[in-house]
Amino acid sequence: MTDRTPQDPWFQPDQSEVYLDFCLSLTPEQRLQMLDDLNRFLAEARAAMERKRGAERALAPSRLKQDQ
């Protein structure tokens, strides 16, 4: 297998190379903002999952009655 180089016309960097280049191009303030945004997104996703679980738990007794 040959090594890929940017000079080759078929060269396609893999996603980790692209992401690393992107992260290295950010200023420290931009990196902190990106991490804040990511943490906010994860918190919102966790909250949505908890709401869904709560709704499923609330429906569980009625589903048991329907099955009987």
For 27-62, what is each residue's pLDDT tens digit? 999 999 999 999 999 999 999 999 999 988 888 776
Higher confidence at residue 19 or residue 25?
25
Please report, as a single letter, which amino acid is at residue 48: A
pLDDT tens-digit series, residues 2-23:
555 556 666 676 777 887 888 8
DSSP 8-state assignment for residue 3: P
Domain ranges of the chain: 20-67
**pTM for the model:** 0.54
Tokens read off for 43: 């918190």
Q: Residue 56 and residue 68: Cα distance in Å, rounded?
A: 18
- H helices present in the chain, as ranges: 15-25, 28-67
What's the pLDDT score for residue 1? 44
